[in-house]
A and B are shown apart, each in its own frame.
Chain A
Amino acid sequence: MIPLGFFIAISAVMFCIGIFGVLTRRNAIAVLMSIELILNAANINLVAFNKYLGTPDGLGQIFALFVIAIAAAASVVGLVLIIAIYRHGKSVFVDEYNLMKW
């Protein structure tokens, strides 16, 4: 059987790839996609620990469900913000956003 460390390693790989995407991508939509990768990495951890530690009422899975719902809400608001800024300033690139810069 696969040890728990393998799942955590996959999660770590996804997390670091997501951080790399957040730091490097210029397109704000791609930055949001990288954030989704990071949230999914956290979810893998929750479900794997739930399976291997045997929580009685499936707490890890319930928590992962909450994370999925919050990620959906966050990406909806984020995408609408990006579209609103695009309409206002004709740009989706984060290094050209200077609306709130002093």
Chain B
Amino acid sequence: MADIIFYIIALSTCLFAFLTVASRDVFHSAVWLSLTLLSVAAIYFYLDAQFLGVIQVLVYIGGIITLFIFAIKLTAKIGDKTIQQANEQALLSGLAAFVFFIILFKMIALHPWAELQPQAPVFSLEDIGKSMLTTYVLPFEFLSLLLLAAMVGAIVIGKVRK
């Protein structure tokens, strides 16, 4: 039963990801991207990372997709359907991506993955919070600095100059 759920999640992730890059309308792309991110959140739940799944839904679908839709609607005047959405290198880059995938897949298939079994979670959400504020406090603080810099930068760049 759990296996069937995994296969459904895997198939929907790949399908929605493909539709994200393949659909002509950019707004449709954004909707497919939100479904892809939801499937990735389902993968997180499947892997016992509940907190990360919730964060994925909150930050990505609640925040980033909204921003994407805002940006699409702010630039919508030239987003109509008659405009070409893919460039001339589509065939070549598709081939390149496919060859890269084949190489990756061969490398993955070489390794004996069956030896590794999933571990029971030895840490809880509490442990993640604790280690984030003790062991990994330096990257955490740098991250808050980065977010502040991104916010200020976005305001400065987006400001209308007279």
Contact = CB atoms under 8 A, between A and B. Distances in A.
Interface string A80-98: 1111101100111001000
A13 B68 contact: no
Residues of A contacting B: mostly? helix
Residues of B contacting A: mostly? helix
A25 B33 CA distance: 14
A5 B75 contact: no
B154 A76 contact: yes
Contacts of A48: 47
Contact of A30 (B56, B85, B121): B85
B37 A40 contact: yes
Contact of A5 (B72, B109, B146): B109
A43 B39 CA distance: 13
Contact of A62 (B74, B131, B158, B160): B131
Size class of the contact patch on chain A: 35 or more
A43 B60 CA distance: 13
A100 interface: no
B64 A71 contact: yes
Contacts of B135: 57
A79 B71 contact: yes
Size class of the contact patch on chain B: 35 or more
Nearest to A37: B17
A24 B108 contact: no
Nearest to B48: A51
Interface in B1-36: 2-3, 6, 10, 13-14, 17-18, 20-21, 26, 29-30, 33, 36
A29 B17 contact: no
A1 B93 CA distance: 36
A69 interface: yes
A26 B85 contact: yes
Nearest to B114: A3
B131 A57 contact: yes
Interface in B30-53: 30, 33, 36-37, 40, 43-44, 47-49, 51-52
A23 B63 CA distance: 25
B96 A23 contact: yes
Interface of A: 1-10, 12-21, 23-27, 29-30, 32-34, 36-37, 40, 43-44, 47-48, 50-54, 56-58, 61-62, 64-66, 68-77, 79-84, 86-87, 90-92, 95
